[in-house]
């Protein structure tokens, strides 16, 4: 006689459904906020687009749009920093050139696949309250320093402040994807390849 798997606890199943629904609402909010701006979108707009009533919407996000924005930006900033640390190869990467290629590919992939979040980072960060805004800024600075450290190891003689200029310049190039018309003639994969080539050409030693 086979032993069946135990049925999930009702509370656990409800929590899983609630978390999934919450993420669906947040995804809708991110798209609307990126497209129309923080002040161009109301909670009613988000509720209507997500097919949820106002009271139910505030049940998931008691802090309204500020909470949604924070939950869109803070976890992404944390993931970017974790990815930056992983792909930069640590304090002494055995192959800095390969590490730079991995780091560029990581950033470009995120920018192409999540353009709405890039828009929110660039244009709506100041809408956050002070504490979450400071947290995002701190994570962003730490992410930049991963690039700075790698560039200085790759290009001996490059000053950290110069590496910072190069890193921010590369971010501007790689983050340009929200303004690109990704139509059939330029696929996301083609866009990734072009942006990676351009960023590496700008950052790699001559």
Report CA 206 to chain centroid distance, whole Å: 30
Distance, in Å, from the CA atom of 93 to the CA atom of 68, rounded to the nearest integer, reads 37
Q: Render pLDDT for 50-87 as a digit per residue (tens, 0 to 9).
A: 999 888 898 899 999 999 999 999 999 999 999 999 99
At residue 39, does pLDDT exceed 50?
A: yes
Q: Distance between CA atoms of 77 and 172, rounded to whole angstroms?
A: 17
pLDDT 10s digits, 186-199: 788 888 999 999 99
pTM of the model as a whole: 0.85
Band of the pLDDT at 183, cuts 50, 70, 90?
Answer: low
Average pLDDT (151-174) is 95
Euclidean distance between CA atoms 94 and 190, whole angstroms: 29
Burial class (CB in 10 A: 0-12, 13-18, 19+), 78: middle
Residue 124 has what DSSP assignment? T
Place of tokens 């161009």: 40
Domains of the chain: 9-62 (1.10.10.60), 65-203 (1.10.357.10)
């Amino acid at each position: 006689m086979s032993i069946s798997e135990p049925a999930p606890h009702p509370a656990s199943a409800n929590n899983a459904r609630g978390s999934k629904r919450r993420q669906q609402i947040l995804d809708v909010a991110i798209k609307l906020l990126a497209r129309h701006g923080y002040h161009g979108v109301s909670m009613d707009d988000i509720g209507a687009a997500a097919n949820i009533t106002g009271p139910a919407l505030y049940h998931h996000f008691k802090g309204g749009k500020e909470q949604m924005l924070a939950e869109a930006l803070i976890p992404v900033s944390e993931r970017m920093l974790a990815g930056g640390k992983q792909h930069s190869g640590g304090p002494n990467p055995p192959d800095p050139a390969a590490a730079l290629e991995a780091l560029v590919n990581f950033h470009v992939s995120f920018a192409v696949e999540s353009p709405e979040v890039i828009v929110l980072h660039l244009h709506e960060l100041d809408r956050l309250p002070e504490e979450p805004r400071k947290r995002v800024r701190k994570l962003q600075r730490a992410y930049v320093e991963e690039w700075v450290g790698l560039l200085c190891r790759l290009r001996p003689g490059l000053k950290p402040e110069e590496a910072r200029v190069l890193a921010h310049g590369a971010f501007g190039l790689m983050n340009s994807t929200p303004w690109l018309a990704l139509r059939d003639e330029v696929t996301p994969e083609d866009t990734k390849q072009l942006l990676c080539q351009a960023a590496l050409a700008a950052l790699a030693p001559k």
